[in-house]
A = this chain, B = another copy of it.
Amino acid sequence: MKTQIKLSLALAIAIALNSLALQAQDQAAAPAKPKTMQEILDATQPGDWRPLNPNNTIYLELATGRVVIELAPKFAPEHSKNIVALARERYWDGLSINRSQDNFVVQWGDANGDDEKLKRSFRLAKQTLPAEFVRKSDGLAFTRLPDADGWAPHVGFVEGMPAAQSPVNNQAWLTHCYGMVGAGRGMEPDSSNGSELYVVIGQSPRQLDRNITVVGRVVQGMELLSILPRGTGPLGFYEKAEQRVPIKSIRLMADVPDEDRTSIEILRTDSESFTQLVEARRNRRDDWYKVPAGHIDVCNVPIPTRPIKK
């Protein structure tokens, strides 16, 4: 992509094509030139990519399409298990998205969750879980970014999720970047059970880090959630029942027939290709850029996906 801003659709396509031509030249004539993100992706090997684990991925089905969410059992084992159990008992089917707060979160679950009489009961899932705000850094394959971060001593990635760690107290946690999914809770740290979920739709609310259990990340379909009309009630809740967005179903990928699965793979964040990609984003080589930033925020790093070639 030679430019970020402006351009008609026609010009964008023209430049995209031209870009490919230029890249071909670059690779032939000047291999030493730093690669662009596209060149790095084009040069990846099959081993740089990983499929989604069907037992660790859920599909949120809306009238507008499917949102694919990868769970993070390494950080939230109890919540991940309970979310799988809730999906298997079809807990969310027919429930709704009840909250859309601009530049903050979109949230779904049981709109009557606080009404003991009306709320939907669990069949197999647990009612209560321990808080899983942080975990021990020990035993975690943490791909650290060299870049400074104001919110945490170290930031980087763990198996495709933005994360942070503190060597001082041997803690690690997932960071509230765009598209990260968390388990809503009340005032008590252990008051979440995974039935009420939210996704970050704006500037990363990193102040939530270590204050709530982060359960995973949207790997496809964010644009179905981020465009939902904002709620006009307190905290962005929809004020009228008819404003809520119905959830057709939430299913575990493993419970969906092969032919109905979303067939994508994700660039491994522990691959050399990903490290190159981060540098290409840290210092943009696109001709459009005049001043490379020389820095990148953990929440500004894209985690590429692509269709699996069949």
Q: Does A198 contact B (CB under 8 A)?
A: yes
**Max count, chain B CB within 10 A of own CB: residue among A9, A185, A211, A223:** A9
Asked if A196 contacts B290 (CB within 8 A), the reply is no
Residues of B within 8 A of A207 (CB): 281, 284, 289, 293, 296, 300
Residues of B within 8 A of A4 (CB): 104, 205, 208, 235
Asked if B235 contacts A287 (CB within 8 A), the reply is no
Q: Does A91 contact B (CB under 8 A)?
A: no
Q: A1-B235, A5-B198, A114-B10 are in contact. Are A228 and B226 (CB under 8 A)?
A: no
Q: How far is the CA of A54 from the CA of B215 in the complex (A)?
A: 47
Q: Which A residues, 255 to 300, have Cβ-Cβ distances below 8 Å to chain B?
A: 281, 284, 287-291, 293, 295-297, 299-300
Q: How far is the CA of A150 from the CA of B55 in the complex (A)?
A: 38
Asked if B211 contacts A289 (CB within 8 A), the reply is yes
- In the complex, per-residue mask of A137-150: 1 if CB is within 8 Å of any chain B CB, else 0: 00000000001111
Residues of B within 8 A of A226 (CB): 102-103, 202, 226-227, 230
Residues of B within 8 A of A9 (CB): 98, 233-234, 237-239
Identical copies in the complex: 2
Q: Does A20 contact B (CB under 8 A)?
A: no
Asked if A189 contacts B290 (CB within 8 A), the reply is yes
Q: A206-B297, A291-B210 are in contact. Are A6 and B184 (CB under 8 A)?
A: yes
Asked if A113 contacts B227 (CB within 8 A), the reply is no
Q: Does A186 contact B (CB under 8 A)?
A: yes
- In the complex, per-residue mask of A176-194: 1 if CB is within 8 Å of any chain B CB, else 0: 0111001011110101100
Looking at the complex, which of A11-19, A27-35, A71-79, A80-88 is the stretch in contact with chain B? A11-19
Residues of B within 8 A of A205 (CB): 4, 300
10 contacts between A and B (CB under 8 A): A5-B212, A6-B191, A7-B237, A12-B233, A149-B150, A150-B297, A203-B299, A207-B293, A223-B230, A227-B228
User: A5-B212, A8-B112 known; 5 other A-B pairs, CB under 8 Å?
Assistant: A3-B187, A6-B107, A103-B179, A133-B291, A211-B291
